[in-house]
Structure 1
């Protein structure tokens, strides 16, 4: 194996830790590089100065895992609960910082979304970027005869109706119990509510 970035053995250019070296050498040698984003020479699309890089403070992440993966995964809990009095297939996940509703299911919420002051950018696990300006506030999530308010942003989700993230889990002092496939909520007054997944 020979790295074409700096002609050393041990790995290929694809796995090189200094890929910028090849670009700099090509630029010094006068080789043509074309940005596929804007068609300009001397840089690649990933290094394009014109491409808007989202502010990390404005970006969230959504895991795009399937139902079988979620059931096998140790850090998530899935089950069906009531949301706005509709059966909802829910994923409790400590990965995303916000909570989301699928575009298909949002129609069943029977409420009008509010417009966000700023556009929220979401990076899906497959690398695609999606923007949302809407949020459904004050939805009612029912867990074992206890009702909770939750705010949901609509995004593309394929395997679940709703993903509940850290913006809901943290204020409710929720813990995901990996081995039990359950979520424990520490309610006011010292009471605990344990919700078991599928």
Structure 2
């Protein structure tokens, strides 16, 4: 929760809200790319989505690999296209994603949805100074 102080005596908690999860059927949009990448030496189905504010990983992938988790100070509410919300409060830092033989670090927040193994959002695109060449798709 994000805290907004209105005066010295009242502290209001406002939920942070992010829209990130796309359905596979919605992936024909120009701002989204899907592909098979490698994470933890296993092939994964990934969505690169410039409309997603953060990057995410499916909780089932994490359980299989047993990597260290960091608890967030705030819980972030994430909505999917069906209007279902989930509160996210775990992040896996510096996960190495291999794309066409190149390794890229990603901070991935845990999601229970299984639509994609990984969603790489605008945070990841910005960190790696990536550009999407939509005409070449």
TM interval, short-chain normalised: 0.7 to 0.9
Q: Gaps spanning 5+ residues in structure 1: where? A: 1-51, 182-198
SS at match of 2:62: helix
* Match status 1:128 vs 2:79: no
Shift of 1:54: 4.3
Match of 2:93 in 1: 137
Q: Is the 8 A contact 1:64 1:126 kept in 2?
A: no
The aligned length equals: 126
Match of 2:26 in 1: 69
Query: 1:156 & 1:124 partners in 2: Cα distance?
Result: 11
Q: Gaps spanning 5+ residues in structure 2: where? A: 1-11
SS at match of 1:120: strand
Query: 2:74 & 2:100 partners in 1: Cα distance?
Result: 35
Query: 1:146 & 1:84 partners in 2: Cα distance?
Result: 14
- Deviation >6 Å, runs of 4+: none
Shift of 1:123: 1.8
Q: Which structure has the highest strand share of the two? A: 2
**Whose radius of gyration is greater, 1 or 2?**
1
Q: Which structure has the highest helix share of the two? A: 1
**Superposition pairs of residues 144-163 of structure 1, within 5 angstroms:** 144-163=100-119
Match of 1:81 in 2: 37
Q: So what's the TM-score if we normalise by structure 2?
A: 0.81
Q: Deviations over 1:143-168 (max 9, x none)?
A: 22221111111113332100000111
Q: Deviations over 1:83-136 (max 9, x none)?
A: 121111100000110001112222234302111111122122221221121111
The higher-RCO structure (CA 8 Å, 6+ apart) is 2
